Amino acid sequence: MNVNDSTSAPGLPPRERILHAAHRLFYREGIRATGVDRIIAESGVAKLTFYRQFPSKNDLVHAYLEYRHGRWMAWFADALRRHAGSGGGPGIAALVPALREWFRDENFRGCAFINGLGEVGAAMPEVVEITRRHKQEMTNVIAQLLPASRQRNVLAQEIALAVDGAIIRAQFDPTPDAALKVLARLLAALGD
């Protein structure tokens, strides 16, 4: 599965077509830059149908972030499994190759939640809450990669912060390698 791609199939119900179009456009072009009329045109629904499904753009933004959360978390868990070593659970070593896969995707535009927070967080407190929940769930997954210890949750929070930094760096750096190398060094230092 490509977490960044959300194609719209004509056979889907109108709500799903709208959501897929919003996912594609909001992630690629931004929430503020994408108007409702563009989403209506891309999804192939009538304006009345759109507003029956999403009474406001804010409702659609909320649904988009929830949808993105589900897609990204499923992709993240799958990528960690695919990049796991042969030593029995995924382990923290799977984190860097999983992120490399995402960063090198031609549609990579960074974290939809960090981007959304920067765009509309001040005007939409629910975006702050969705982002907080998404980041906490990501941190929980990272914690499960670490050996059990009293410091597990603290280390997971620190690693999650480093992951967010790597995501931001990968958005403006022509290659994600610099951010991934730093993250790999940080993770290697944990093992020392």
The model's pLDDT over 29-47, given as tens digits with 9 standing for 90+, comes to 999 999 999 999 999 999 9
pLDDT tens sequence across 94-105 = 999 999 999 999
**DSSP-derived secondary structure letter, 147:** P
| Predicted confidence (pLDDT) at residue 149 exceeds the cutoff of 80 | yes
What does the block give as tokens for 173?
């750096």
- Quick one: tokens of 42? 């891309």
Listing DSSP states for 45-84 in one string gives: --HHHHHHH-SSHHHHHHHHHHHHHHHHHHHHHHHHHHT-
Report the first-to-last Cα separation within the chain, whole angstroms.
34
Q: What is the mean pLDDT of the chain?
A: 92
Q: What is the CA radius of gyration of the chain?
A: 18
- Going along the chain from its start, the domains and CATH numbers come out as 58-191 (1.10.357.10)
Per-residue confidence band for 87, with pLDDT thresholds at 50, 70 and 90: very low
pLDDT at 1: 43
User: Does the pLDDT at position 6 exceed 60?
Assistant: no
What's the rounded Cα separation, in Å, for the pair 104 and 167?
Answer: 11
Query: Which pLDDT band, with edges at 50, 70 and 90, does 190 fall under?
Result: confident
Give the pTM: 0.90
Amino acid at 144: Q
Q: What is the rounded CA–CA span in Å between residue 170 and residue 147?
A: 28
